[in-house]
Amino acid sequence: MLILIAGPYRSGTNDDPLLMERNLRYLESVSLPLFRAGHIPMIGEWVAMPLMREAGSKKPGDAAYNEIAYPVAERLLTKCDAVLRLPGASTGADQDVRIAKERGLKVFYSLEEVLASR
């Protein structure tokens, strides 16, 4: 399955780049186990970050950031088979789960749940 990993990225960071990087590493921490289990992990920021850079984004929440950040995840969800929602407050991740459910995609709430579904 192509699985979108959703969880906190910007939430709770006050836009501190170091905290945002820590959150990205948290999301990425499940990507290798997913891959080794035969899935293709996807994180919206992997796609959005270079696009935002190309669009001239200078900081989270600016016009270029807002043009790209959430729409990338929504577009990815047209290609994904499932969402893995990691713990932690996140408006964007909650939105990903809502969209996934509307589209009939499977939503997992732990890596173990994904691995057990094989």
Q: List per-block mean pLDDT (blocks of 10 residues) for the chain, which spans 118 residues.
A: 97 95 97 98 97 96 95 96 97 96 97 92
Which value, to the nearest 10 degrees, does the dihedral of the CA atoms of residues 58, 19, 49, 42 take? -170
| Residue 48 contacts residue 60 (beta carbons within 8 Å) | no
pTM, entire model: 0.95
Which among 50, 39, 36, 42 has a CA at the least distance from the CA of 7? 42
Instruction: Tell me how far CA of residue 34 lies from CA of 28, 46, 57, in angstroms.
Output: 10, 16, 31
Residue 106 CA to residue 116 CA, distance in Å, equals: 13
Residue ranges per domain, the chain?
2-45+74-116
Q: What is the DSSP letter of 100?
A: H
pLDDT of residue 104: 97
- CATH placement of domain 2-45+74-116: 3.40.50.10400
CA-based nearest residue to 27, from 15, 41, 13: 41
